Chain A
């Protein structure tokens, strides 16, 4: 399927958490092809060079029937601040769907996400349905865990950790993970979030002999494999492009443990 660049119309750009918004774009050609784990590459300020580069945004959901793709972003810098000002019916220059998504495999998946890494797991959870899904999510505090209400209806079991213990158990996802894996019921792990978390997940997945896919995040310019800004080291000594070989990799390819 070809990658395309389209003038996408903003359907919605709404607050879903503190400084977190969901952008819904009408881009039927992208929606028709996208698979979980892929991303959009969005020019956030079409008329100016501030900022100049596109922003890679993971696809958090797709409605192929309606023709929309969604992405969830936290307002952190110049690019996302620009994005946050988009209004309904504005036009956005959008490339997609880019990258390699998750490989759907196994019958008892465990999805593990931290912070904004939970965004692509929403799309994934939808596609994995009707398999019985369990989700382990971590965040800093209850206020940031609006994710719980999104995943609640999509999974059989939702396990939550917060740094301050205001929701779920106090601590981080990795504290809770060993006891989940000890149950022996999972045959596939998908994870997206901070590097430290994914490293830990990959290590435990290996220990319990469960296949694991990780979704990496890296600064990138072209998004199509041309500039090599985003390449990462792999366990066989070669380098892989996060934008086109990834962003989803098998943990054993890219995590040394």
Chain B
């Protein structure tokens, strides 16, 4: 009823975790049975370890939050040697979110991560919190395409591309990465935002600006999923403010074949599980036999 296949990655449910909100999965194993999650998308991984941004890294905003972590991560070698073996005990697809400073780095990361235990790669070309790479690749069609082509040349794994909403035309970006060979598209990464402390006359975040996530961004994300769904054939993984099953269903009706819970994990550490259960209940109540029957079914 809930099993889906996204670009060759077989998932027990359509509910994945959004990169950067669920650590490497292990951090949440006290709260959810990782074996029952659709897929775990791990923390953004880079070639070399990164210590991330200085100063305050999060700020709460109405129905959402800003973050500027700055891709703190232990680097790909540490992931391969220490974390991946620990994840092997779980029967859940592991998707590695990767981020490079150059197009070549995406190629190197793709090569290094094409190993047993990794089910797919998600290219982060949309991180708003780092100076090089990240969003620089994700806001121009030609550079986004170059990153996708490089990754595809260096791996046989399914390549998912996570797009930035901070663009004029999301459809154009989605078409560009599809043409470059993307096997699926994740929509959306965070929206660039800012919060100011009116008592100190200073930005709240150490990095001045950060990425907005949480229920506040959901209508933007649903709109983008709906627009992109009309224009591409590859499956879309919808995300942006999903906390409940109702939220996830909205994304699926807009055209997402799977969804990811991000900030929602902070609100409810069992969110991935409760969203999947809620979708199942919804299907049952409506007499539907499979979650695929929701995808793109919004009547416009």
Contacts and interface: CB of A to CB of B under 8 A. Distances in A.
Nearest to A237: B51
Interface in A62-104: 78, 93, 95
Bin the interface of chain A by size: 20 to 34
A52 B269 contact: no
B116 interface: no
Interface residues of B, number: 33
A51 interface: yes
Given A3-B31, A224-B27, A224-B28, A229 B57 contact: yes
A221 B69 CA distance: 11
A229 B23 contact: no
A2 interface: yes
A225 B23 contact: yes
B278 interface: no
Contacts of B65: 52-53, 221
B32 to A, nearest CB: 10
A219 interface: yes
Contacts of A4: 30-31
Given A228-B52, A239-B72, A221 B67 contact: yes
Nearest to A222: B266
Nearest to B71: A228
Interface of A: 2-5, 43, 49-54, 78, 93, 95, 219-231, 233, 239, 244
Interface of B: 20-23, 27-28, 30-31, 43, 51-52, 56-60, 62-65, 67, 69, 72, 214-215, 243, 263, 265-270
4 tightest CB-CB pairs across the interface, nearest first?
A: A226-B23, A49-B63, A226-B27, A225-B27
20 contacts: A2-B30, A4-B31, A5-B31, A5-B270, A49-B215, A49-B243, A50-B62, A51-B60, A52-B65, A52-B266, A53-B65, A54-B266, A221-B67, A222-B265, A224-B27, A224-B28, A224-B30, A231-B72, A239-B52, A244-B27
Given A43-B268, A224-B23, A224-B28, 6 more contacts: A5-B268, A52-B267, A220-B58, A225-B27, A226-B43, A229-B58
